[in-house]
Structure 1
Amino acid sequence: MTIKPPTIHDVAAAAGVSTSTVSKYVNGIQRFSPVVEAALKSAIEALGYRSNPQAQSMITGRTKSIGLSVLDISNPHFTAIVKGANRVALAHGYTLLLADVDETPSRERSLLEALSRRVDGLLVYSRIPEEEMSWMIGLGKPLVFFGRLEHTQLPCVSGDDRRAGYMLAQHLVTKGHKRVAYLGFSRSNRNRERMDGIRECLASHDLSLLVFDCEAPAAVASELASASIMLGQEPPDAIVCYNDLMAIGLMAGIQSLGFRVPQDISVAGFDNIPFGRYTMPPLTTVDQQSERMGEVGMHKLLTAIAGDANCDVTTLAPQLIVRSSVQGRVE
């Protein structure tokens, strides 16, 4: 004999209220008197009633799910963002649904369109140019963007990439470096700001910047680039990489060529991923507060879902993390 699970009608009958009262109580739409709420709680516990998420969604118009799109979940920077966002989502009764575009811009639109149909709002980390984002806003869901937008009115969370680049360059100059290079990833919206910060600092010391570019923001790509950087006529004495993964790959490539880090060249990166402190030598970097970025983004999105879409930008301050991959130079 199959025992049917208790329904909302059973709870209403046991508590002596209407089914609409049960629905409003279960979904947190309305508060009732202590006597009524005590009766509802007692009936729900006695019957073992569990609400149907799909039914709740039909009643409230809410899925209690949040969509988060990241560029590459294998990059610990994005893993930390997910961790921070998920912590806040769980604390507010939301489930986080993740889309990983795997550094493939052509996938972003289809993934976000599919995700938008299943969630109450979207947190988006994207390389899509701002002038091509109108379709994203047209999805009709509250949206928070990771990064800076010049013309589009959306709530944003961003690191201060220009300041972070300046801080790293200043550290290198203080250590006596004069031939500074930048290994970037030009397809990133944040690449220019990081590079501009480095250039601004070097210019104030009458120094120029040598620029290299990678095909992907990954360790494999930067390792392959190490030969062209180190075997030129006048190799740099210090290099800043677009992110820590590239810095780690570059160090491996440099060392495989017979050069020493930091004795022959100092290396630094961005993001302060956990692996950086365990490399040989440990990696100098800038902490962009990745986990905090996820937390702030989720708080902003929950506020937008509640109907208060404040289109401001929260900028998280970078912190220089000094380790032994950068060494002083004596001329």
Structure 2
Amino acid sequence: MATIRDVAKLAGVSVATVSRVLNQNGYVNEDTEKRVKKAIEQLNYKPNEVARTLFKKTSKTIGLIVPDISNPFFPELVRAVEDVMNIYDYTVILCNSDEKSEKEKQYIGILKQKYVDGIILTTNQLESDEVLELGVPVVVLDRPSMHSFPSVIADNYGGARLATRHLYDIGCRKIAHIQGPTHVVNAMERFRGYRDEMQELGLWNEQLIIQGNYQLKQAKEATLRALQEHKMDGIFAGNDAMAVGALKAVQQLGLRVPEDVAIIGYDGIPLTEMTTPELSTISQPIYEMGAIAARILVKKIEAKPLEQLHYVLPVKLVERQSTQRRGTR
């Protein structure tokens, strides 16, 4: 395998000159540059990327930190980021924080050591000053906790109101909400949308709030308890995983969906089409969110102007069997 010294010898120049050509750093006259490039081609020389990274303090690599890769929402988001970054020849380092601030900070330290060119955050464990200390462009995706950084989200508040109103429109009057983690911004926005819609409808009842923590199993167990303690005829789950848990709980108690309890989720992941009955959901443009965040990060890395700083993408109601229409009761 050819070395940088072999290139220098063949081109009749110093190793430092070859390094300047490779890194496009410093002046090299045109004839010399042509000789170096010809030698590189003849020897099929491949630069040591680790050494180049250390020298240039850049790596054509970005970090993507997600809170829970087992949640089916995030793989599609990751795919979009990776697809766009590959177009621009960037490699993506995926970090799964498990919703733990210590683990997230540990990953941040590792990414800094690797001289990543930018980071996409889909978590909200860090404070703004901690993110600023990173010294690289940052884009916040899905969980907009820091307004000084570019962000891409969907209309969580509006989508929650849409879901709640849909349950009302099909005849539900005792509508429960399975809430996500209280420290997660989008979970609280969905709760706010549900609460405001219920208050406007004159149906607000604090006892119909169920804690599901964005987890299928936890949502199932919490829904089982809630159904035994309170009467409800509709459930709006803050994400699709919790909606599946609610569906299992309702069926385990021998109740029918949607005849006894109608259920709607949030996200629009493929899993909702594979349940029996198929689950209605509020569909987010997941892939588009990831793609926009990736393009913003590339522009930030390349110091190009942004058309806008914050994106709030629309959501849509996908009505399936779990909320088939019925007469008002």
- TM-score w.r.t. the length of structure 1 is 0.87
SS at match of 1:196: helix
What is the distance in 1 between the residues matched to 2:288 and 2:29?
A: 39
* Alignment gaps of 5+ in structure 1: none
Asked whether 1:98 is paired with 2:94, we answer yes
Instruction: State which of 262, 275, 280 in structure 1 corresponds to 2:258.
Output: 262
Q: Is the 1:99–1:112 contact (alpha carbons within 8 Å) kept by the matching residues of 2?
A: no
SS at match of 2:242: helix
Q: Give the match for residue 208 of structure 1.
A: 204
User: What is the CA deviation profile of residues 138-170 of structure 1, one whole-angstrom value per residue up to 9, with x for unaligned ones?
Assistant: 122211112465764111111110111122122
> Where do 1:1-331 residues align within 5 Å?
5-12=1-8, 14=10, 23=19, 26=22, 43-118=39-114, 119-128=116-125, 132-147=127-142, 149=144, 152-185=147-180, 186-210=182-206, 211-214=208-211, 216-233=213-230, 235-308=231-304, 310=306, 312-330=309-327, 331=329
User: What is the CA deviation profile of residues 266-289 of structure 1, one whole-angstrom value per residue up to 9, with x for unaligned ones?
Assistant: 111111111111111111111212
Q: Is the 1:99–1:115 contact (alpha carbons within 8 Å) kept by the matching residues of 2?
A: no
SS at match of 1:231: helix
- TM-score w.r.t. the length of structure 2 is 0.87
**Gap change, CA 1:77 and 1:20, over 3 Å in 2:** farther
Deviates more, 1:141-150 or 1:256-265: 141-150
RMSD: 2.9
Q: Give how far 1:209 is off.
A: 4.9
* Alignment gaps of 5+ in structure 2: none
The letter for the 2-side match of 1:295 is: A
What is the distance in 1 between the residues matched to 2:143 and 2:241?
A: 23
**Gap change, CA 1:22 and 1:322, over 3 Å in 2:** farther
Q: Is the 1:142–1:305 contact (alpha carbons within 8 Å) kept by the matching residues of 2?
A: yes
Q: Give how far 1:328 is off.
A: 2.3
Q: Give how far 1:227 is off.
A: 1.9
**Gap change, CA 1:45 and 1:150, over 3 Å in 2:** closer
Q: Tell me how many residue pairs correspond in the alignment.
A: 324
The letter for the 2-side match of 1:270 is: Y
What is the distance in 2 between the residues matched to 1:161 and 1:149?
A: 11
Deviates more, 1:51-60 or 1:253-262: 51-60
Q: Is the 1:67–1:116 contact (alpha carbons within 8 Å) kept by the matching residues of 2?
A: no
Q: Is the 1:155–1:309 contact (alpha carbons within 8 Å) kept by the matching residues of 2?
A: no
SS at match of 2:185: coil
User: What is the CA deviation profile of residues 297-329 of structure 1, one whole-angstrom value per residue up to 9, with x for unaligned ones?
Assistant: 111111111124757111121122111111223
Identity of aligned residues (%): 30
**Gap change, CA 1:24 and 1:292, over 3 Å in 2:** farther
What is the distance in 2 between the residues matched to 1:262 and 1:21?
A: 73
What is the distance in 1 between the residues matched to 2:316 and 2:30?
A: 50
User: What is the CA deviation profile of residues 217-271 of structure 1, one whole-angstrom value per residue up to 9, with x for unaligned ones?
Assistant: 11110110122221124x2111111110111011111111111111110111111
Q: Is the 1:68–1:97 contact (alpha carbons within 8 Å) kept by the matching residues of 2?
A: yes
